[in-house]
Amino acid sequence: MPRYAYVNGRYLPHDAAGVHIEDRGFQFADGVYEVVTIQGGRLVDEAGHLDRLGRSLGELRLAWPMDRPVLQQVMRQLIRRNRVRDGIIYLQITRGTAARDFRFPEAATPTLVMTTRRMNLDPARQVAAGVDVVTIPDIRWKRRDIKSVALLAQVLGKQQAAEAGAFEAWQIDEEGMVTEGCSSNAWIVTGDGRLVTRDASTMILNGITRQSILRLAAEQGLQFEERAFTVDEARRAREAFLSSATTYVMPVTRIDGRPVADGKPGPLSRKLRESYRSYAVGAGAS
Amino acid sequence: MPRYAYVNGRYLPHDAAGVHIEDRGFQFADGVYEVVTIQGGRLVDEAGHLDRLGRSLGELRLAWPMDRPVLQQVMRQLIRRNRVRDGIIYLQITRGTAARDFRFPEAATPTLVMTTRRMNLDPARQVAAGVDVVTIPDIRWKRRDIKSVALLAQVLGKQQAAEAGAFEAWQIDEEGMVTEGCSSNAWIVTGDGRLVTRDASTMILNGITRQSILRLAAEQGLQFEERAFTVDEARRAREAFLSSATTYVMPVTRIDGRPVADGKPGPLSRKLRESYRSYAVGAGAS
């Protein structure tokens, strides 16, 4: 069975799917994206991801390439064609193709690309062991709240993590506070059992999974604070974890090579992972 | 006559030239570029641009897609095919196509794209009147010395300039100092006739035209300083101008709507423009 990609109205064999060399996504990183998880054939947090897509588009004054319900139909069609039960759907929208000029083109049709990928959403060994993170300076631009494809800093950060044998790199701002991972949000559990994650601002991307975890935590009566924390506080924390659409809640057991607490995934991280998984499998999905 | 683009070994009709949707340039802005001016069929500052391309590639640990002399042959071939006398050649190199993952792919062939465009390199009326700039906060990432395609901040800045009726936006760092324009370097002439432009660091892209102007200034015995300056100093300056591969030296006569000096292009700007043009037409070109 061939794998299809959706590009500007057409379902194409993945290998043959292209965009023009003067697509503004290719020349200027002038575009946005979303990654939505597919769990058991269902989209997880679909509304949240599409809301954020709308926000990113708005911040860049990009139009929806089609009405949102139609876009949702295309997503479903592609998932069906590619028979994805567990995995992701990736959506990218750019300002379209136009003769190269930094300024917005007078008339360009937005480019819409979608791909899917099958993925194991429950990497049991990784979850059981937890993952390592390293810390790096946050060198990104100042509009991290926009989920744009200008991801070069994150590419370099993730590569640096990989070369250090780590799963993720936590980025540190000029005040020494953790902003977030290169493709995930950062969390700790304090000595008195409070969940802490950075408050949403232009300094971080407000993760959809992050928001769902906060909602689940509130429903369960857990104490949480949205505030910045230092690497030092994270190292001394009772637990640490990261969150993203594909990793859900993933325990962090080492930071820069040093164990967090006893170096094992903590109970609250495990509990939140299970809560989120239940939510993803069940009621939260469409 | 069709216009050709060069893409990964092939000369294609421009309209049909594409890259894969999983090209890392499209998904991650994981690539670099150069714009080289063609004046009278000759490449201006070719060696400088290719040196900088090599530096950008090195900073991102990207390989040259082919040996530099071969790449230069391709450039000449494309210019010949497209019969460009005055204009530009645009080169873009990305990390290639690979399944989407922030980390560098194990094995990917770099993507090489080249296009040309004819252009009037001597817009006499614009030069005679000078151009307006507006000032905006510099929100870019911290590796501005790499000429990467992660240009979204510059896109937004240039659009903001255009909507204000200005030609360029000068970006202001957190200390209130001008870094540079969104696609040009910024210059002033002080009351005592010294040329000033920001020193080269990770805070700016070290323009090839900027470097040639400094060399020409030195040859002519002009006094110059490479240092940061404020918007206020620029407003009070005797002259201001900007430089880039396509604009050469372009007088700046208004900043945020207020005239620089008497609001007319100054003599040193005019002189440097003429020097640079002579250089571009003649000995400096290959």
**Enzyme catalytic residues of A:** 147
pLDDT, residue B2, reads: 78
Question: Three-class SS string for B237-284?
Answer: CCEEEEEECCCEEEEEEEECCEECCCCCCCHHHHHHHHHHHHHHHCCC
User: pLDDT tens digit string along A202-259?
Assistant: 999 999 999 999 999 999 999 999 999 999 999 999 999 999 999 999 999 999 999 9
Q: How confident is the model at residue A1 (pLDDT cuts 50, 70, 90)?
A: low
Interface-testing mutation among A32, A95, A155, with chain B (most B C-beta atoms within 10 A): A155
Report B:112-131 residues touching A (Cβ under 8 A).
113, 115, 117
Residue A136 contacts B where some CB pair is shorter than 8 Å: no
A223 C-beta neighbours (distance < 10 Å), count? 13
- Determine contact, residues A171/A140, Cβ cutoff 8 Å: yes
User: pLDDT tens digit string along B50-85?
Assistant: 999 999 999 999 999 999 999 999 999 999 999 999
User: pLDDT tens digit string along A8-49?
Assistant: 999 999 999 999 999 999 999 999 999 999 999 999 999 999
pLDDT, residue B282, reads: 86
- What CATH number does the domain located at A124-281 have? 3.20.10.10
Residue A10 contacts B where some CB pair is shorter than 8 Å: no
Question: Amino acid identity, residue B182?
Answer: C
pLDDT, residue B30, reads: 98
**Enzyme catalytic residues of B:** 147
- Min distance A13 CA to chain B CA atoms (Å): 11
H helices present in chain B, as ranges: 24-28, 46-59, 68-81, 124-129, 152-163, 208-219, 231-235, 267-281
Residues 6+ apart with CB under 8 A from A160: A134, A136, A169
Closest residue in B to A26 (Cα–Cα): B26
Residue B63 contacts A where some CB pair is shorter than 8 Å: no
User: pLDDT tens digit string along B163-208?
Assistant: 999 999 999 999 999 999 999 999 999 999 999 999 999 999 999 9
B141 chain-A contacts, CB cut-off 8 A: 139-141, 152-153
Residue boundaries of the structural domains of chain A = 4-118, 124-281
Residue B258 contacts A where some CB pair is shorter than 8 Å: no
pLDDT, residue B55, reads: 98
pLDDT, residue A286, reads: 47
pLDDT, residue B283, reads: 56
Quick one: CA dihedral A200, A204, A207, A213, positive or negative?
negative
d(CA A111, CA B26): 11
pLDDT, residue B286, reads: 47
Task: Give which of A89, A77, A9, A11 is closest to A49, Cα–Cα.
Answer: A89
A60 chain-B contacts, CB cut-off 8 A: 152, 156
- Min distance A193 CA to chain B CA atoms (Å): 33
Closest residue in A to B163 (Cα–Cα): A103
pTM of the full predicted structure? Answer: 0.97
**Are A18 and B22 inside 8 Å of each other by CB?**
no
User: pLDDT tens digit string along B239-269?
Assistant: 999 999 999 999 999 999 999 999 999 999 9
* Average pLDDT for A84-88: 97
- Determine contact, residues A58/A51, Cβ cutoff 8 Å: no
* Average pLDDT for A82-109: 97
Residue B3 contacts A where some CB pair is shorter than 8 Å: no
d(CA B54, CA A218): 52
Interface A-B: count of C-beta contacts within 8 A: 142
Closest residue in A to B6 (Cα–Cα): A21
d(CA B67, CA A195): 54
Beta strands in B160-219 (DSSP E): 168-172, 178-181, 185-189, 195-197
Long-range contacts of range A170-174, CB-CB < 8 Å, 24 or more positions apart? A170/A133, A170/A134, A170/A135, A170/A136, A170/A231, A170/A234, A170/A255, A171/A135, A171/A136, A171/A137, A171/A138, A171/A139, A171/A140, A172/A135, A172/A136, A172/A137, A172/A138, A172/A231, A173/A138, A173/A203, A173/A228, A174/A138
**Are A143 and B158 inside 8 Å of each other by CB?**
no
* Average pLDDT for A134-161: 98
Closest partner residue to A151 (CB to CB) among B29, B94, B104 is: B29
Closest residue in A to B149 (Cα–Cα): A28
Report A:192-211 residues touching B (Cβ under 8 A).
none
**Are B155 and A183 inside 8 Å of each other by CB?**
no
Closest residue in A to B16 (Cα–Cα): A20
Query: Could you give the C-alpha distances from B194 to A100, B212, B226, B270, B276, in angstroms and in order?
Result: 35, 17, 10, 15, 18
Residues 6+ apart with CB under 8 A from A32: A53, A56, A57, A60, A62, A92, A93, A94, A146, A147, A148, A149
Task: Give which of B239, B147, B230, B234 is closest to B193, Cα–Cα.
Answer: B239
A212 C-beta neighbours (distance < 10 Å), count? 21
* Average pLDDT for B209-214: 98
Instruction: Give the pair of three-digit tokens for residue A51.
Output: 């809301």
Is residue B276 scored above 90 in pLDDT?
Answer: yes
B157 C-beta neighbours (distance < 10 Å), count? 26
* Average pLDDT for B213-224: 97
For residue A186, give the 3-state DSSP assignment.
strand
pLDDT, residue B1, reads: 65
Q: Which helix (H) or strand (E) holds A54?
A: helix A46-59
d(CA A277, CA B14): 48
Q: CATH classification of A4-118, choosing from 3.40.50.2300, 3.40.50.720, 3.30.470.10, 3.60.150.10?
A: 3.30.470.10
Burial class (CB in 10 A: 0-12, 13-18, 19+), A150: buried
